[in-house]
Amino acid sequence: MKIYSKKFDLNLVHSFQTAHGADDIRHNAYVKIEEDGFEGFGEAAPLYYYNEYAHTVIEAVEKYKNINFGDFRNFRDVTEKMWMHVEGEYAAKAALDMAVYDMAGKASNLPLYKLAGINPENTPVTSYTIGIDTPEVIERKVLEAVEYPILKVKLGAGNDEDIMKCIRKLTDKTIRVDANCGWTVDEAVRKVQWLQDINVEFIEQPLPVDNIEGIKKIREVSKIPIIADESSKRACDIPGLFGAYDGINIKLMKCGGITEALKMIAMARTLNMKIMIGCMVETSLAVSAAAHLTPLVDYADLDGNLLIKNDQFTGVKVKNGKLILNDKPGLGVTCNEDFWN
Ligand code: MG
């Protein structure tokens, strides 16, 4: 299997601020694999707070170049092998993993959802993310999001009441709230009671990653689900969240790809927990890979490609908020012609 990689910067439509920090640009990395006349594409959106960067993705991908993975059509063997060869670097693993599924799907002439026995009719409605900003900019973003029936609002930077008041003045749409670890227990207990009264559907990651006891206290007063994001990276994390969080947010970049995401879905379903599939700031390549799995989950937050100006790929579409998968083989993604030149 031939493996190529390159870095590419994504330019954001608006500066994107969460409780973790603000960005205008994201440094992603891409892989292309080739074998027997087929090719597969993959994307890595590494995040500094997981100590992963575009250059560490490229270094990790280099380590895979001389390994004999066997026949790529046995994609489960190949992706398991990939998992073992490099420590950490989950965004790099996600890129290679999705590229293998892409190529295996093309070789079978089946879209990934068919390869995996998933019904594409059952894709959920995706939310559209509103980052932390001034009331003027938030107002503009809410108006830009007119075609999306669900908003996901980032809180946790000290101006939560102002943001929510501003949005609720403009719309009565369903809102999901993501505090990105930004609250204390007392603050969260107070805010959850306020937010559930203004039609908020659920709250994502109110507290820092390890504060599981704090989540249990919030849950005692909360009528709406509390979803783990930063606390739920891979399948092995989920049993430790059971009994505290109501659900988990799966992202390919945190877990290391489709193979691990499917394990997380199975684990969370076994424990009767809610499941969301989310994304980082990514192009239509990684967003499409994740979208194939969304018929298996309760909520989708796949808008990373809608937040950038220079998407180099075409794939999943959104119609009135609903994710629409096409019937092209593999991930169903086409790449701008000169991207790899
Ligand atoms: Mg989140």
Q: What is the per-residue pLDDT for 14?
A: 83
262, pLDDT greater than 90: yes
CA of 177 to the centre of ligand 1 (A): 9
pLDDT in tens, 41-90: 999 999 888 899 999 999 999 999 989 999 999 999 999 888 888 899 99
CA of 152 to the centre of ligand 1 (A): 9
> What is the pLDDT averaged over residues 306-335?
96
Q: What is the per-residue pLDDT for 83?
A: 86
User: Could you tell me if 95 and 269 are in contact, meaning their C-beta atoms sit under 8 angstroms apart?
Assistant: no
Q: What is the per-residue pLDDT for 142?
A: 95
User: Could you tell me if 81 and 69 are in contact, meaning their C-beta atoms sit under 8 angstroms apart?
Assistant: yes
pLDDT in tens, 15-35: 877 777 778 999 999 999 999
CA of 50 to the centre of ligand 1 (A): 14
CA of 272 to the centre of ligand 1 (A): 21
Q: What is the per-residue pLDDT for 172?
A: 95
Q: What is the per-residue pLDDT for 287?
A: 98
**Among 321, 310, 306, CA closest to 16:** 306
CA of 108 to the centre of ligand 1 (A): 35
pLDDT in tens, 130-188: 988 888 999 999 999 999 999 999 999 889 999 999 999 999 999 999 999 999 999 99
Q: Supply φ then ψ for residue 184, to 5 degrees.
A: -90, 170
pLDDT in tens, 321-339: 999 999 999 999 999 999 9
